[in-house]
Amino acid sequence: MADRATVLIVGAGPAGLVLGNLLRANGIDTLILERGSRAKVQNRARAGFLGANSARVLTEHGLGAGMLHNGHQHDTCAFRDENGQFELDYRQLGRGEVHTVYPQQHLVTDLIAEYLDRGGRLRFGVTVTHIDPTTATVSYEGGQAQGRFVVGCDGSNGMSRRAVPARRQARDHGVAWLAVLAEAPPSMGTTTYAMHDNGFAGHMARGPQVTRYYLQVRADGNTAATDPADWSDERIWSELRLRMRVDQFGPLREGPVIERRIVRLRSDVLDSLQHQRLFLAGDAASLISPSAAKGANLAIMEAELLAAALTDALARDDEHALAAYSSACRPRIWRAQEFSHWMITLLHGPDDGPDADFHRLLRRARLDSLRDSRAHQDFFAENYVGI
Ligand code: RFL
Protein backbone atom coordinates (compact mmCIF):
# COMPACT_ATOMS: atom_id res chain seq x y z
CA MET A 1 0.00 0.00 0.00
CA ALA A 2 1.25 3.49 -0.85
CA ASP A 3 2.53 5.75 1.91
CA ARG A 4 0.40 8.85 2.35
CA ALA A 5 1.24 12.45 3.18
CA THR A 6 -0.48 15.70 2.31
CA VAL A 7 2.64 17.11 0.65
CA LEU A 8 5.41 14.88 -0.70
CA ILE A 9 8.78 16.55 -1.18
CA VAL A 10 11.54 15.00 -3.27
CA GLY A 11 14.99 16.09 -2.07
CA ALA A 12 16.41 17.35 1.24
CA GLY A 13 18.49 20.29 0.06
CA PRO A 14 17.80 23.91 1.08
CA ALA A 15 14.62 24.10 -1.06
CA GLY A 16 12.99 20.91 0.23
CA LEU A 17 13.96 21.49 3.85
CA VAL A 18 12.85 25.13 4.07
CA LEU A 19 9.57 24.17 2.42
CA GLY A 20 9.09 21.19 4.74
CA ASN A 21 9.76 23.31 7.82
CA LEU A 22 7.35 26.06 6.78
CA LEU A 23 4.60 23.56 5.99
CA ARG A 24 5.13 21.79 9.32
CA ALA A 25 4.85 25.15 11.10
CA ASN A 26 1.37 25.41 9.54
CA GLY A 27 0.46 21.92 10.70
CA ILE A 28 0.63 20.31 7.25
CA ASP A 29 1.61 16.66 7.05
CA THR A 30 4.76 16.28 4.93
CA LEU A 31 7.07 13.48 3.85
CA ILE A 32 10.52 14.21 2.39
CA LEU A 33 12.20 11.49 0.33
CA GLU A 34 15.95 11.94 -0.04
CA ARG A 35 18.33 9.82 -2.11
CA GLY A 36 21.44 10.44 0.00
CA SER A 37 22.24 9.43 3.55
CA ARG A 38 21.86 11.96 6.35
CA ALA A 39 25.66 12.14 6.70
CA LYS A 40 26.05 12.81 2.99
CA VAL A 41 23.60 15.69 2.77
CA GLN A 42 24.89 17.22 6.02
CA ASN A 43 28.44 17.26 4.68
CA ARG A 44 27.85 18.62 1.17
CA ALA A 45 29.77 21.92 1.08
CA ARG A 46 28.38 24.25 -1.57
CA ALA A 47 26.88 27.68 -0.92
CA GLY A 48 27.92 30.06 1.81
CA PHE A 49 26.54 33.50 1.02
CA LEU A 50 22.99 34.10 2.14
CA GLY A 51 21.38 37.31 0.94
CA ALA A 52 19.15 39.60 2.98
CA ASN A 53 15.89 37.91 1.94
CA SER A 54 17.20 34.45 2.89
CA ALA A 55 18.30 35.71 6.31
CA ARG A 56 14.84 37.23 6.79
CA VAL A 57 13.01 34.04 5.76
CA LEU A 58 15.11 31.88 8.08
CA THR A 59 14.82 34.29 11.01
CA GLU A 60 11.10 35.01 10.64
CA HIS A 61 10.22 31.32 10.47
CA GLY A 62 12.31 30.23 13.45
CA LEU A 63 15.04 28.60 11.34
CA GLY A 64 17.82 31.12 11.90
CA ALA A 65 19.32 30.22 15.29
CA GLY A 66 22.45 28.52 13.89
CA MET A 67 22.95 31.18 11.25
CA LEU A 68 22.56 34.02 13.78
CA HIS A 69 24.86 32.35 16.28
CA ASN A 70 27.59 30.96 14.03
CA GLY A 71 27.27 32.90 10.77
CA HIS A 72 28.91 36.24 10.27
CA GLN A 73 27.94 39.32 8.37
CA HIS A 74 29.88 40.25 5.29
CA ASP A 75 29.70 43.63 3.63
CA THR A 76 32.76 44.24 1.47
CA CYS A 77 34.04 42.91 -1.80
CA ALA A 78 37.14 43.83 -3.75
CA PHE A 79 38.09 43.73 -7.41
CA ARG A 80 41.73 43.53 -8.44
CA ASP A 81 43.50 43.46 -11.77
CA GLU A 82 46.63 44.84 -13.43
CA ASN A 83 45.49 48.39 -12.62
CA GLY A 84 45.22 47.86 -8.87
CA GLN A 85 42.39 47.12 -6.48
CA PHE A 86 39.24 48.81 -5.25
CA GLU A 87 36.75 47.80 -2.56
CA LEU A 88 32.99 48.27 -2.37
CA ASP A 89 31.44 48.45 1.08
CA TYR A 90 27.96 47.45 0.00
CA ARG A 91 26.43 48.11 3.42
CA GLN A 92 26.79 51.77 2.43
CA LEU A 93 25.34 51.25 -1.06
CA GLY A 94 22.05 50.26 -2.69
CA ARG A 95 19.56 49.18 -0.02
CA GLY A 96 22.29 48.91 2.61
CA GLU A 97 21.94 45.13 2.85
CA VAL A 98 24.68 42.62 3.74
CA HIS A 99 25.37 38.92 3.28
CA THR A 100 25.40 36.40 6.07
CA VAL A 101 28.13 33.82 5.53
CA TYR A 102 26.89 30.46 6.78
CA PRO A 103 28.00 27.28 5.01
CA GLN A 104 25.20 25.38 3.29
CA GLN A 105 26.03 22.09 5.02
CA HIS A 106 25.51 23.75 8.43
CA LEU A 107 22.23 25.24 7.29
CA VAL A 108 21.06 21.85 5.97
CA THR A 109 22.04 20.22 9.28
CA ASP A 110 20.00 22.82 11.23
CA LEU A 111 17.03 22.48 8.89
CA ILE A 112 16.92 18.68 9.18
CA ALA A 113 17.01 18.81 12.99
CA GLU A 114 14.29 21.46 13.15
CA TYR A 115 12.10 19.67 10.59
CA LEU A 116 12.22 16.44 12.61
CA ASP A 117 11.48 18.42 15.79
CA ARG A 118 8.42 19.86 14.08
CA GLY A 119 7.18 16.32 13.49
CA GLY A 120 8.14 16.15 9.80
CA ARG A 121 8.80 12.76 8.24
CA LEU A 122 12.03 12.31 6.29
CA ARG A 123 13.42 9.17 4.70
CA PHE A 124 17.04 9.04 3.66
CA GLY A 125 18.41 6.57 1.11
CA VAL A 126 15.22 6.63 -0.99
CA THR A 127 15.66 7.39 -4.69
CA VAL A 128 12.49 8.50 -6.42
CA THR A 129 12.26 6.93 -9.87
CA HIS A 130 8.93 8.21 -11.19
CA ILE A 131 6.43 10.97 -10.49
CA ASP A 132 2.86 10.98 -11.72
CA PRO A 133 1.75 14.65 -11.64
CA THR A 134 -1.94 13.78 -12.18
CA THR A 135 -2.32 11.58 -9.12
CA ALA A 136 0.54 13.13 -7.08
CA THR A 137 2.14 9.71 -6.73
CA VAL A 138 5.86 9.10 -6.51
CA SER A 139 7.51 5.74 -7.02
CA TYR A 140 10.77 4.55 -5.58
CA GLU A 141 12.44 1.18 -5.40
CA GLY A 142 10.18 -1.08 -3.38
CA GLY A 143 7.30 1.34 -2.88
CA GLN A 144 5.10 4.30 -3.65
CA ALA A 145 3.87 7.38 -1.83
CA GLN A 146 0.83 9.47 -2.60
CA GLY A 147 -0.05 13.01 -1.59
CA ARG A 148 -2.36 15.88 -2.48
CA PHE A 149 0.67 17.63 -3.93
CA VAL A 150 4.24 16.70 -4.87
CA VAL A 151 7.09 19.20 -4.82
CA GLY A 152 10.27 18.41 -6.75
CA CYS A 153 13.27 19.86 -4.89
CA ASP A 154 15.73 17.35 -6.32
CA GLY A 155 18.21 19.72 -7.92
CA SER A 156 19.09 20.46 -11.52
CA ASN A 157 19.85 16.85 -12.46
CA GLY A 158 16.82 15.50 -10.66
CA MET A 159 13.98 13.68 -12.33
CA SER A 160 11.02 15.84 -11.25
CA ARG A 161 11.73 18.65 -13.73
CA ARG A 162 11.41 16.06 -16.51
CA ALA A 163 7.79 15.48 -15.45
CA VAL A 164 6.96 19.14 -16.16
CA PRO A 165 6.37 19.72 -19.88
CA ALA A 166 7.66 23.30 -19.89
CA ARG A 167 9.92 25.19 -22.26
CA ARG A 168 13.54 25.29 -21.10
CA GLN A 169 16.04 28.08 -21.41
CA ALA A 170 19.38 26.30 -21.06
CA ARG A 171 22.74 27.88 -21.63
CA ASP A 172 26.30 26.85 -21.06
CA HIS A 173 28.26 30.05 -20.47
CA GLY A 174 31.45 28.50 -21.86
CA VAL A 175 33.27 29.02 -18.56
CA ALA A 176 34.50 26.43 -16.06
CA TRP A 177 35.80 26.94 -12.52
CA LEU A 178 37.90 24.75 -10.31
CA ALA A 179 36.05 25.19 -7.00
CA VAL A 180 38.42 24.66 -4.10
CA LEU A 181 37.83 24.43 -0.36
CA ALA A 182 40.96 25.00 1.66
CA GLU A 183 41.50 24.31 5.34
CA ALA A 184 42.92 27.75 5.92
CA PRO A 185 41.65 31.01 7.39
CA PRO A 186 40.50 33.67 4.91
CA SER A 187 43.41 35.55 3.38
CA MET A 188 41.56 38.87 3.24
CA GLY A 189 38.69 40.54 5.01
CA THR A 190 36.79 40.84 1.72
CA THR A 191 35.34 38.64 -0.99
CA THR A 192 37.91 39.20 -3.71
CA TYR A 193 37.47 38.91 -7.46
CA ALA A 194 40.80 38.90 -9.32
CA MET A 195 41.09 39.30 -13.08
CA HIS A 196 44.25 38.03 -14.72
CA ASP A 197 45.42 37.01 -18.20
CA ASN A 198 45.48 33.41 -16.93
CA GLY A 199 41.81 33.73 -15.98
CA PHE A 200 39.62 34.70 -13.04
CA ALA A 201 40.43 33.81 -9.42
CA GLY A 202 38.04 34.28 -6.49
CA HIS A 203 38.37 34.29 -2.70
CA MET A 204 35.32 33.83 -0.44
CA ALA A 205 35.31 33.35 3.32
CA ARG A 206 33.42 30.33 4.62
CA GLY A 207 34.44 30.39 8.29
CA PRO A 208 37.44 31.04 10.53
CA GLN A 209 39.26 27.87 9.33
CA VAL A 210 37.83 27.20 5.86
CA THR A 211 38.03 29.35 2.73
CA ARG A 212 36.61 28.88 -0.74
CA TYR A 213 38.69 29.75 -3.77
CA TYR A 214 37.79 29.60 -7.44
CA LEU A 215 40.14 29.33 -10.40
CA GLN A 216 38.83 29.70 -13.92
CA VAL A 217 40.05 26.72 -15.93
CA ARG A 218 40.03 26.07 -19.65
CA ALA A 219 36.68 25.07 -21.10
CA ASP A 220 36.49 23.46 -24.52
CA GLY A 221 32.94 23.42 -25.77
CA ASN A 222 30.82 21.75 -23.17
CA THR A 223 33.60 20.16 -21.15
CA ALA A 224 36.25 21.56 -18.87
CA ALA A 225 39.61 20.82 -20.47
CA THR A 226 41.06 19.75 -17.16
CA ASP A 227 40.49 17.25 -14.40
CA PRO A 228 40.49 18.14 -10.67
CA ALA A 229 43.17 15.44 -10.27
CA ASP A 230 45.48 17.55 -12.49
CA TRP A 231 45.46 20.19 -9.75
CA SER A 232 47.83 19.36 -6.91
CA ASP A 233 47.75 21.58 -3.80
CA GLU A 234 50.98 23.20 -4.95
CA ARG A 235 49.64 23.92 -8.43
CA ILE A 236 46.45 25.45 -6.97
CA TRP A 237 48.30 27.70 -4.53
CA SER A 238 50.87 28.74 -7.10
CA GLU A 239 48.15 29.74 -9.59
CA LEU A 240 46.18 31.54 -6.86
CA ARG A 241 49.31 33.48 -5.81
CA LEU A 242 49.85 34.56 -9.39
CA ARG A 243 46.26 35.57 -10.21
CA MET A 244 45.70 37.19 -6.80
CA ARG A 245 48.92 39.17 -7.39
CA VAL A 246 50.36 38.45 -3.97
CA ASP A 247 53.54 40.38 -4.84
CA GLN A 248 51.39 43.54 -4.93
CA PHE A 249 48.67 42.81 -2.38
CA GLY A 250 50.22 40.51 0.20
CA PRO A 251 50.39 36.76 0.83
CA LEU A 252 47.62 34.17 0.97
CA ARG A 253 47.05 32.12 4.09
CA GLU A 254 47.61 28.68 2.67
CA GLY A 255 46.56 25.27 3.94
CA PRO A 256 45.58 21.80 2.72
CA VAL A 257 42.99 21.63 -0.06
CA ILE A 258 40.09 19.56 1.29
CA GLU A 259 37.87 19.60 -1.80
CA ARG A 260 38.38 20.35 -5.48
CA ARG A 261 35.78 20.02 -8.19
CA ILE A 262 35.02 21.40 -11.62
CA VAL A 263 31.91 23.55 -11.88
CA ARG A 264 30.56 24.50 -15.32
CA LEU A 265 28.85 27.88 -15.34
CA ARG A 266 25.39 27.00 -16.65
CA SER A 267 21.83 28.28 -16.55
CA ASP A 268 18.82 26.05 -17.01
CA VAL A 269 15.42 27.63 -16.35
CA LEU A 270 11.94 26.20 -16.93
CA ASP A 271 9.25 28.67 -17.91
CA SER A 272 6.65 26.89 -15.79
CA LEU A 273 7.25 25.52 -12.30
CA GLN A 274 4.03 23.56 -12.19
CA HIS A 275 2.31 20.70 -13.96
CA GLN A 276 -0.97 19.52 -12.51
CA ARG A 277 -0.23 18.59 -8.86
CA LEU A 278 3.53 18.73 -9.21
CA PHE A 279 5.49 21.90 -8.32
CA LEU A 280 9.20 22.64 -8.59
CA ALA A 281 11.49 24.70 -6.35
CA GLY A 282 15.23 25.39 -6.10
CA ASP A 283 17.73 24.16 -8.67
CA ALA A 284 15.05 21.79 -10.03
CA ALA A 285 13.15 24.88 -11.20
CA SER A 286 16.03 27.11 -12.20
CA LEU A 287 19.72 26.33 -12.23
CA ILE A 288 21.92 29.41 -12.01
CA SER A 289 25.69 29.68 -12.30
CA PRO A 290 27.47 30.29 -8.97
CA SER A 291 29.01 33.55 -10.30
CA ALA A 292 26.78 35.71 -8.09
CA ALA A 293 26.00 33.16 -5.33
CA LYS A 294 22.25 33.13 -5.98
CA GLY A 295 21.24 29.44 -6.18
CA ALA A 296 20.47 28.71 -2.54
CA ASN A 297 18.93 32.16 -2.19
CA LEU A 298 16.49 31.49 -5.04
CA ALA A 299 15.70 28.10 -3.49
CA ILE A 300 14.78 29.75 -0.16
CA MET A 301 12.72 32.48 -1.85
CA GLU A 302 10.76 29.89 -3.86
CA ALA A 303 10.24 27.64 -0.83
CA GLU A 304 8.70 30.51 1.15
CA LEU A 305 6.32 31.49 -1.68
CA LEU A 306 5.29 27.89 -2.30
CA ALA A 307 4.75 27.14 1.40
CA ALA A 308 2.37 30.09 1.68
CA ALA A 309 0.54 29.08 -1.51
CA LEU A 310 0.19 25.43 -0.46
CA THR A 311 -1.02 26.51 2.98
CA ASP A 312 -3.70 28.71 1.38
CA ALA A 313 -4.76 25.81 -0.82
CA LEU A 314 -4.82 23.20 1.92
CA ALA A 315 -5.99 25.16 4.96
CA ARG A 316 -8.23 27.75 3.29
CA ASP A 317 -9.23 26.01 0.08
CA ASP A 318 -7.87 28.98 -1.86
CA GLU A 319 -5.71 28.02 -4.86
CA HIS A 320 -5.11 31.55 -6.22
CA ALA A 321 -1.55 31.80 -4.90
CA LEU A 322 -0.78 28.28 -6.06
CA ALA A 323 -1.94 29.11 -9.59
CA ALA A 324 0.22 32.25 -9.51
CA TYR A 325 3.34 30.51 -8.10
CA SER A 326 5.21 30.24 -11.44
CA SER A 327 4.47 33.79 -12.46
CA ALA A 328 5.44 35.13 -9.01
CA CYS A 329 8.84 33.38 -9.20
CA ARG A 330 9.68 33.99 -12.86
CA PRO A 331 10.67 37.70 -12.72
CA ARG A 332 12.82 37.11 -9.62
CA ILE A 333 14.52 34.12 -11.24
CA TRP A 334 15.31 36.19 -14.33
CA ARG A 335 16.55 39.19 -12.33
CA ALA A 336 18.99 36.82 -10.62
CA GLN A 337 19.94 35.23 -13.95
CA GLU A 338 20.54 38.65 -15.46
CA PHE A 339 22.81 39.77 -12.64
CA SER A 340 24.62 36.46 -12.58
CA HIS A 341 25.25 36.81 -16.30
CA TRP A 342 26.45 40.38 -15.75
CA MET A 343 28.95 39.01 -13.21
CA ILE A 344 30.11 36.35 -15.67
CA THR A 345 30.90 38.98 -18.28
CA LEU A 346 32.58 41.19 -15.66
CA LEU A 347 34.86 38.42 -14.42
CA HIS A 348 35.78 36.51 -17.56
CA GLY A 349 36.74 37.51 -21.04
CA PRO A 350 36.99 35.23 -24.03
CA ASP A 351 40.65 34.05 -24.01
CA ASP A 352 40.98 34.07 -27.74
CA GLY A 353 39.06 34.64 -30.95
CA PRO A 354 38.78 37.77 -33.10
CA ASP A 355 36.73 39.71 -30.50
CA ALA A 356 38.94 38.95 -27.49
CA ASP A 357 40.57 42.41 -27.35
CA PHE A 358 37.28 44.21 -27.84
CA HIS A 359 35.73 42.28 -24.95
CA ARG A 360 38.77 42.85 -22.75
CA LEU A 361 38.44 46.61 -23.26
CA LEU A 362 34.70 46.54 -22.58
CA ARG A 363 35.40 44.63 -19.38
CA ARG A 364 37.99 47.20 -18.39
CA ALA A 365 35.46 50.01 -18.97
CA ARG A 366 32.80 48.18 -16.93
CA LEU A 367 35.22 47.77 -14.04
CA ASP A 368 36.26 51.45 -14.24
CA SER A 369 32.62 52.45 -14.13
CA LEU A 370 31.99 50.22 -11.09
CA ARG A 371 34.97 51.84 -9.34
CA ASP A 372 33.95 55.43 -10.15
CA SER A 373 30.19 55.64 -10.51
CA ARG A 374 27.98 55.75 -7.42
CA ALA A 375 24.95 54.86 -9.56
CA HIS A 376 26.72 51.79 -10.88
CA GLN A 377 27.78 50.80 -7.36
CA ASP A 378 24.19 51.13 -6.10
CA PHE A 379 23.01 48.89 -8.96
CA PHE A 380 25.69 46.37 -8.06
CA ALA A 381 24.94 46.36 -4.32
CA GLU A 382 21.19 46.05 -4.78
CA ASN A 383 21.55 43.05 -7.08
CA TYR A 384 24.51 41.44 -5.34
CA VAL A 385 22.69 40.98 -2.02
CA GLY A 386 19.10 41.02 -3.18
CA ILE A 387 16.82 38.58 -4.96
P1 RFL B 1 20.21 20.53 -3.86
O2 RFL B 1 20.95 21.19 -2.77
O3 RFL B 1 20.96 20.04 -5.05
O4 RFL B 1 19.38 19.34 -3.21
C5 RFL B 1 18.68 18.41 -4.01
C6 RFL B 1 18.51 17.13 -3.19
O7 RFL B 1 17.71 16.21 -3.93
C8 RFL B 1 18.26 14.91 -3.78
N9 RFL B 1 17.80 14.09 -4.92
C10 RFL B 1 16.90 13.07 -4.82
N11 RFL B 1 16.25 12.56 -3.75
C12 RFL B 1 15.41 11.53 -3.99
N13 RFL B 1 15.19 10.99 -5.23
C14 RFL B 1 15.84 11.49 -6.32
N15 RFL B 1 15.60 10.96 -7.52
C16 RFL B 1 16.74 12.57 -6.13
N17 RFL B 1 17.53 13.30 -6.97
C18 RFL B 1 18.15 14.20 -6.21
C19 RFL B 1 19.76 15.14 -3.74
O20 RFL B 1 20.44 14.06 -3.12
C21 RFL B 1 19.85 16.44 -2.93
O22 RFL B 1 19.98 16.19 -1.55
O23 RFL B 1 19.07 21.47 -4.46
P24 RFL B 1 18.23 22.73 -3.81
O25 RFL B 1 17.58 22.33 -2.53
O26 RFL B 1 17.41 23.25 -4.91
O27 RFL B 1 19.36 23.80 -3.40
C28 RFL B 1 20.11 24.46 -4.39
C29 RFL B 1 21.48 24.84 -3.83
O30 RFL B 1 22.09 23.67 -3.29
C31 RFL B 1 22.37 25.48 -4.91
O32 RFL B 1 21.62 26.39 -5.68
C33 RFL B 1 23.56 26.24 -4.29
O34 RFL B 1 24.44 25.36 -3.65
C35 RFL B 1 24.29 27.05 -5.37
N36 RFL B 1 25.50 27.70 -4.84
C37 RFL B 1 25.42 28.87 -4.11
N38 RFL B 1 24.18 29.43 -3.88
C39 RFL B 1 24.09 30.54 -3.09
O40 RFL B 1 22.96 31.03 -2.90
N41 RFL B 1 25.19 31.13 -2.50
C42 RFL B 1 26.46 30.62 -2.69
O43 RFL B 1 27.43 31.13 -2.11
C44 RFL B 1 26.60 29.46 -3.55
N45 RFL B 1 27.82 28.90 -3.77
C46 RFL B 1 26.77 27.13 -5.07
C47 RFL B 1 27.92 27.75 -4.51
C48 RFL B 1 26.91 25.94 -5.82
C49 RFL B 1 28.17 25.40 -6.03
N50 RFL B 1 28.25 24.21 -6.78
C51 RFL B 1 28.80 23.02 -6.30
C52 RFL B 1 27.51 24.14 -8.01
C53 RFL B 1 29.17 27.21 -4.73
C54 RFL B 1 29.31 26.03 -5.50
C55 RFL B 1 30.70 25.48 -5.73
- 48 CA closest ligand 1 atom index: 43
pLDDT of amino acid 208 = 93
pLDDT of amino acid 304 = 98
Judge if the beta carbon of residue 128 lies within 6 A of ligand 1: yes
User: Which of the residues 90, 275, 290, 325 is marked catalytic?
Assistant: 290
pLDDT of amino acid 220 = 74
pLDDT of amino acid 224 = 59
298: how many CB neighbours lie within 10 A of its CB?
A: 29
Which positions of the chain have pLDDT values less than 50? Answer: none
Q: Residue 314's closest CA among 148, 151, 150?
A: 148
pLDDT of amino acid 384 = 97
User: Which of the residues 102, 115, 140, 193 is marked catalytic?
Assistant: 193
Judge if the beta carbon of residue 161 lies within 6 A of ligand 1: no
90 catalytic per annotation: no
Judge if the beta carbon of residue 179 lies within 6 A of ligand 1: yes
Give helix 295-316 / helix 14-25 axis angle, nearest 10°.
Answer: 30
354 catalytic per annotation: no
294 catalytic per annotation: yes
pLDDT of amino acid 231 = 96
pLDDT of amino acid 31 = 98
CATH top class, domain 3-74+100-169+267-340: alpha beta
pLDDT of amino acid 223 = 59
Q: State in Å: Cα 199 to ligand 1 middle.
A: 26
Q: State in Å: Cα 140 to ligand 1 middle.
A: 21
- What is the rounded CA–CA span in Å between residue 130 and residue 150? 12
pLDDT of amino acid 326 = 98
Judge if the beta carbon of residue 36 lies within 6 A of ligand 1: yes
Pairing of strands 121-123, 72-74: unpaired
Judge if the beta carbon of residue 294 lies within 6 A of ligand 1: yes
pLDDT of amino acid 98 = 98
